[in-house]
Amino acid sequence: MTHIIPIALYSLFRSFVGGIICIFMLFLSFHANAAGHHQVSKKLPLAAHVVMKSNTKRKRVSLNGVGKAHQQSDEQQEILAGSNPFRQRNIDELRISEGMHPQISTVQKNTMVAAKREVIANLMKQLGKPYHYGGTSPRTGFDCSGLVNYAYRDHLKSMLPRTANNMFHMSAEQALEIEKEQLHSGDLVFFRTHSRSRGYADHVGVYLGDGEFIQAPRTGKDIQISRLDEDYWQEHYIGARRVLLPAAVR
C-alpha cells in the first residue's frame, strides 16, 4: 500500500506536466498564427499606398492636361481678339512692325527703317513738280510709275518694272500682296482708272500712312498727296504690293 501511493502521485504529476506542455504548445501555435496575420495586415497598406500614388499621378496628369488646355484656349482667345495676330510695335514714325515682316532680325528691321525713311523723303521732295508722261527725273518731271521708280531705285537690289501694270503683277519674290487693312507707309497702291480689263493697273502711288498716298496724277496736274477714302480712289482701287522686303532691301 505504501508503494502504490507514490506511484499514483507520480502518474498525476506526469499528467499535470503533460497538460501544461500541451497548453504551452497550443499557445505558441496560436501566437505564431496571430503574428502571421499581423504581418500580412501590415503589407496591405503598402499596396494601397502604391495605388494611391498611382491615382495621384493620374490626377496630376489630368490636371496638367486641363491646365494646358485652358492655357491654349486663352492664347487662342488672345489671338482671335485682334484683327492682326502680330501685335504692331511701331518704330519711329514709319511704322515698321512685326505685323509687316514677322521674324526678321534687328539689323534687317533697322535697314528697312532707314530705306523707308529715305524713300518717303525723296517722294516728299517731288511735291508740286509737274506730271510728265514718261518722265523719270526731277528735272523733267514724272509720270506715276516714273515717280515710284525714282523713289525706290537706290534702295532695292533689283529695279522695279517700268509700268504700273507690271509692278502690280510682280512675282511673290519681288513683292508681297497686301490687303487694304494691312497697308503701311511705303506700300504701293494700284488703281484701274481707264482700262476696262479688271486685272489691269494703269495708275500707281505710294502709301504714306493715315489713309494718304502720294502720286503723279495726270497731265496738267502736279505731284500731290491724296486720300484713299475719297470716292474716286475707292472706286478705282484694285490692290497693294509691298516691295520693301527683308531680302529685297539693299
Question: Catalytic residue numbers?
Answer: 144, 203, 215
CA distances from 53 to 50, 61, 181 (A): 5, 12, 56
Helices (H), 104-143: 106-125
Neighbours of 211 (CB within 10 A): 13
CA–CA distance, 244 with 111 (Å, rounded to integer): 10
Burial of 247 (0-12, 13-18, 19+ CB in 10 A): exposed
Q: Which three cell numbers stand for residue 78?
A: 488672345
Whether the CA torsion 171, 173, 174, 178 is positive or negative: it is positive
| Radius of gyration, alpha carbons of the chain | 46
Closest CA to 68 of 60, 58, 56: 60
Q: Which three cell numbers stand for residue 99?
A: 505685323
Q: Are 222 and 128 in contact (CB under 8 A)?
A: yes
